[in-house]
Amino acid sequence: MKTIVSGIQPSGTLHLGNYLGFLRQAVELQDNSGCKRFYFIVDFHSLTGRYNPKEKAKEIYELAVDLLAGGIDPKKSTLFIQSHIEEHANLAWIFNTITSMGQLERMVEYKEKVAQGITPNAGLFDYPVLMAADILLYKGELVPVGEDQLQHIELARDTARAFNRRFGKTFPEPKAILTKAPRVMSLNNARQKMSKSLPQGCLFLTDSPKVMREKIMRAETDSHAEIGCDPKRRAAISNLVMIYAELSGMTTSEVVKMFKGVGYAEFKKELAELVIKTFKPFQERRAKVFKNKAQVMKVLEEGARNARPIARATMEEVRKKVGLI
Ligand code: AQP
């Protein structure tokens, strides 16, 4: 039986990139009864960016609500909060001792954050090591993620290989599984991925219909006469076409054909209505789940109870192998 593992940061509301690159696939993977699934809220990771301690608990709760409303089913997946299992940090420490500074210095996500002007803390630099621990603690083999995480998964593979070589076979080498929309670009800057830290170009799943319409109508396009899909040369319009295709179940060429001869404004109107219609049921479910705090907290506690013995067993094995008493 394969093990699927993935984490998501509680650092704000879910956006369309999180949905198309991660959540939709994580939900679909629940239909495979031949797999075990561990999905968790990586609250430790989220402390590496700027945050307000008074808001953090609310962000964690809201993400749990988003995941449940978005289709993560506690009967099929173990859903929990990373910091409730102390072994994540313990294993990360062991992995720190077999990871070189050079490996971490090559991480593009880290370099991009620094280039955006963020003063990095040691936690941000070390983020991929904690991520390797998140995955390998459950001996995860498959990791549904967006394209931005590929290099981090590669580092988790390197970590598993390095540990196995030095201390004996312990961990599988995890593989990323990508969706057909692995990198949704920002609506107002198609050279950057849609990202919570750039909220202007971000379409949040909880945005009101009015805000969704406004953001899509303002989205960057180009000076061509017609829509088209050519991500290298026409990144902005291709991103919108790809979003339409993903939400309608059509291919991008079918979308281009359907809107042949139609102006950008008309296409954007149709896209906005599709986005609004797609996320209306999510927003309704979310409102209901949000009110049931006792039930949400129970799911997270049960999830931690189920994950803990597995985490402890792996950590025990690691402690023995590295020679700790
Ligand atoms: N633009 C995206 N396209 C496709 N997939 C994406 N993911 C994120 N952005 C895109 C995927 O969503 C999952 C959860 O992401 P995360 O926990 O890394 O955090 P995030 O904070 O939601 O990502 P952001 O918005 O990009 O945050 P910042 O601004 O902090 O960097 C992952 O599987 C990720 O690949």
Note the pLDDT tens digit of each residue in 174-225.
999 999 999 999 999 999 999 988 888 999 999 999 999 999 999 999 999 8
Q: What percent of the chain has pLDDT over 90?
A: 94
Counting Cβ atoms within 10 Å, is residue 275 exposed (0-12), middle (13-18) or buried (19+)? Answer: buried
Question: Which residue has a Cα nearest atom 21 of ligand 1?
Answer: 9
Is residue 21 in contact with ligand 1, taking CB distance under 6 Å? yes
Rounded Cα–Cα distance for residues 269 and 275 (Å) = 10
pLDDT at position 33 is 81
Query: Above 90 in pLDDT, residue 32?
Result: no
pLDDT at 255 over 90: yes
Strands 142-144, 78-81: pairing is unpaired
**Residue 113 appears among annotated catalytic residues:** yes
Q: Which pair of structure tokens corresponds to residue 10?
A: 């509680």
Token match 């013995």: residue? 309
Q: What integer is the mean pLDDT of 16-39?
A: 95
Q: Is the CB of 26 under 6 A from ligand 1?
A: no
Express each pLDDT in 133-159 by its tens digit: 999 999 999 999 999 999 999 999 999
Ligand 1 centroid, distance to 222 Cα (angstroms) = 26
Q: Is 196 a catalytic residue?
A: yes
Three-state DSSP state, 142: strand
Using a 6 Å cutoff on CB, does residue 9 contact ligand 1? yes
**Closest ligand 1 atom, residue 145 Cα:** 33
**Band (116; pLDDT cuts 50, 70, 90):** confident
pLDDT at 325: 87
Which of the listed residues 148, 187, 242 should we mutate to test ligand 1's pocket, taking the one with most ligand atoms within 8 A of CB?
A: 148
**Ligand 1 pocket check for 113: Cβ under 6 Å:** no
In the chain, count H helices and then E strands. Answer: 14, 5
Q: Which of 15, 66, 195, 206 is the best mutation target for the ligand 1 pocket, counting ligand atoms within 8 Å of the beta carbon and taking the most?
A: 195
Q: Whose CA is nearest to atom 19 of ligand 1?
A: 9
Q: 84: CA distance to ligand 1 center in Å?
A: 22
Q: Is the CB of 112 under 6 A from ligand 1?
A: no
197 within ligand 1 shell (Cβ under 6 A): yes
Q: How far is the CA of 18 from the centre of ligand 1 (A)?
A: 5
260 alpha carbon to ligand 1 midpoint, in Å? 32
Asked whether the predicted pLDDT for residue 83 surpasses 90, the reply is yes
Q: What is the DSSP letter of 185?
A: B
Triad 108, 110, 113: Cα angle to 5°: 110
- Please name the residue whose Cα sits nearest to atom 33 of ligand 1: 145
- Exactly one of 2, 56, 76, 196 is catalytic; name it: 196
Residue closest to 95 by CA, chosen among 135, 151, 55: 135
Q: How much is the pLDDT for 198?
A: 85
Which residue's alpha carbon is nearest to atom 12 within ligand 1?
A: 18
Quote the CA–CA distance of 41 and 61 in Å, as a whole number.
9
Confidence of residue 82 (pLDDT cuts 50, 70, 90): very high
Longest dimension (CA), the chain: 72
Q: How confident is the model at residue 44 (pLDDT cuts 50, 70, 90)?
A: very high
pTM: 0.95
Instruction: Write the pLDDT tens digit of every residue in 225-254.
Output: 899 999 999 999 999 999 999 999 999 999
Helix (H, G, I), strand (E, B) or coil at 7: strand
Q: Is the CB of 70 under 6 A from ligand 1?
A: no
89-115 mean pLDDT: 97
The answer to whether 44 and 88 are in contact (CB under 8 A) is yes
For residue range 257-313, list pLDDT tens digits in order. Answer: 999 999 999 999 999 999 999 999 999 999 999 999 999 999 999 999 999 999 999
**pLDDT for the residue numbered 10:** 96
pLDDT at 314: 98
Cβ of 201 below 6 Å from ligand 1: no
What's the mean pLDDT when you consider all of the chain?
96
The question of whether 268 is a catalytic residue gets the answer: no
